[in-house]
A and B are shown apart, each in its own frame.
Chain A
Amino acid sequence: MTRERGSPYAPHAEGETAAMLDAVGVDDEEALFDIPEGVRFDGEFGIEPRSEQALRRELTALLGRNDDLTEFMGRGHYDHYVPSIVDNLSQRAEFLTSYTQYQPEITQGFLQALFEYQSMLVELTGLPVANCSMYDSATALAEAARLADRVRQASGTRVFVPEFLRSGKRGVLDNYLAGTEMTVETYPMDDGNVDVEALAELVDDETAMVYAENPTVRGSIEERLAEIGELASENDALFCLGTDLVALALLEEPASVGADVVVGEAGVLGLPNAYGMGLGLFATREEYLRQVPGRLVGVSEDAADRRAYTLTLQTREQHIRRERATSNICTNQAWVALRAAIHLAWLGPSELVDLAEDCVRDAAALAERLDALVGLKAPVHDRHHFREFVVRCDQPAAAIAGDLETEGYAVHVVGEHLLQVCITDANAHKADELVAAFEGVL
């Protein structure tokens, strides 16, 4: 394959390119671009043209070099079995488009699906307003902090987050708040959960937002959420709760513990646990409706009195409001939200609860079996757990994780002698093998 002939993907042959350059009166393609020296890539890409067939062979060989590990990893990314209906419906041509779903006259089906997604979030959180998705849980958290900055009546700039927070989330939060007057501070945890007494010492009327997670990043279930909510409320601060769709089926309803904003990962349903993709959920109180970032789908009636869906409150978006937009995020995960909605609808309320209960039962059972092994203590935190838990090991954690990897299993190292293990319906059938592998490497 040569550039003399072109290809379906790079159709211009060298002769054609030369003719076009000649027609516009420049010597080479470089002259068509004005790229500043400082950011210019000065080198050869070293990409040789090759046929589709040859490229496939090469990529297959490259992918074959990946380790084929069974993952028992969580900390924000959870693998639940995605039923085939999700692929089948979401990959229908009507839904597979790179265009955003703006035009109500041609996208009623998609808008309705997003409206259903929002409605399911409203049911699960108890909060009356949910947007039709954010990029991921980290951006949703950061947007909540920005919302706190906009809606609080009293002054205040301090945002409190737990001592145990995924570094990725913290990084995004810091990035979003850079340049504002807001500061991010941590509060201590006590045995995996919020140290409410210590938090009470820290929170004052300069506090804009208190963020807590349930389940926590260590998989423990937070039992004193209502107290945290009250603490935030007493200090005129927003209470932001991080959680996920499956956990919401079982845990206390966020609205009933005083949550002003619920953020988290909605991609635990409908998405494979790969490629780092996320789906940020964002729900809040009605009084903050006009300060919500992202988009909302609303339902109304058209001129013929038929039910009609449309994007509402678009005027808060940057394409209309520019510097006064409530958020400058451009990424909306409409198609991913569609998948989550299909998965949720497919499960229905009772199976969603079953799935959530398995997350508690399986984690407790696996922890008990690991605890029975000499040299391990699990769970480290004396709490109820959801999906995951921390294991203390007498030997260095990194060495054990390395040995487990050799055996074909992946777990997180979270401290010198601490591992974190996550179990869901997707890997539960491998629990026996994991326990045996642990036994073998200890």
Chain B
Amino acid sequence: MFEVPDDLRYMESHEWTSTDDVARIGITDFAQDELGDVVFVELPDEGSELTKGDEFGVVESIKAVSDLYAPISGTVVGVNEALFDQPELVNDDPYAEGWMLEVEPADDGEFDELLTAEEYREQTE
């Protein structure tokens, strides 16, 4: 079983977001396992604007490249620069050390449109 924390919200495309005032975004345990060893993460610069559902970056593993999609709209206020040197953090700790972006949400209502942990669990089972 993959870890799916109850306090987060999820996209069908396997991104997670916290629902804090500054929301953290990453990819799920299921996603990192499917990808295999992550070797590179491409993320937007601080200050970039995200639009829900649009691509915001790329995650590369040895054999695949996947686009990352924004679970919410907002302004990027933090980027996990540790990932540029240690992309494997995404594999090791996808919900904590392997976080990708911190975003100031443009519309708190968007959280409700995302999958709950329960719904995401069902999707990945």
Contacts and interface: CB of A to CB of B under 8 A. Distances in A.
Interface of A: 290, 314-316, 320-321, 324
Contact of A324 (B40, B61, B64, B65): B65
B64 A320 contact: yes
Interface string B11-44: 0000000000000000000000000000110000
Interface in B48-66: 58, 60-65
A320 B65 contact: yes
B40 A320 contact: no
Given A315-B60, A315-B63, A320-B63, 14 more contacts: A290-B40, A314-B63, A315-B39, A315-B40, A315-B61, A315-B62, A315-B64, A315-B65, A316-B65, A320-B64, A320-B65, A321-B65, A324-B58, A324-B65
B61 to A, nearest CB: 7
Chain B: interface residue count, which band?
under 10
Contacts of A315: 39-40, 60-65
Closest 5 CB pairs between A and B? A315-B65, A315-B60, A321-B65, A320-B65, A290-B40
Contacts of A324: 58, 65
Interface in B61-91: 61-65
A185 B63 CA distance: 39
A290 B65 CA distance: 12
Nearest to A320: B65
Contacts of B65: 315-316, 320-321, 324
A284 B65 CA distance: 23
Contacts of B64: 315, 320
Nearest to A325: B65
A287 to B, nearest CB: 12
5 contacts: A290-B40, A315-B40, A315-B65, A316-B65, A320-B63
B103 to A, nearest CB: 23
Nearest to B61: A315
A321 B59 CA distance: 12
Contacts of B62: 315
Contacts of B39: 315
Q: Which of A314, A315, A320, A321 has most B Cβ within 10 Å?
A: A315
A297 to B, nearest CB: 15
Nearest to B55: A324
Contacts of B60: 315
B41 to A, nearest CB: 11
Contacts of B61: 315
B38 to A, nearest CB: 11
A290 B41 CA distance: 11
A315 B39 CA distance: 10
A315 B36 CA distance: 13
Nearest to A322: B65
A53 B10 CA distance: 71
Contacts of A321: 65
A403 B62 CA distance: 60
A321 B58 CA distance: 11
B48 to A, nearest CB: 14
A217 B64 CA distance: 42
A316 B64 CA distance: 9
A314 B62 CA distance: 8
B10 to A, nearest CB: 25
Nearest to A289: B40
Nearest to A324: B65
A325 to B, nearest CB: 9
Nearest to A317: B65
A324 B66 CA distance: 11
A320 B40 CA distance: 15
Contacts of A316: 65
B71 to A, nearest CB: 21
A290 B58 CA distance: 12
A11 B6 CA distance: 68
A315 B58 CA distance: 11
Nearest to B42: A290
Contacts of A290: 40
Contacts of A314: 63
A314 B39 CA distance: 12
A197 B116 CA distance: 64
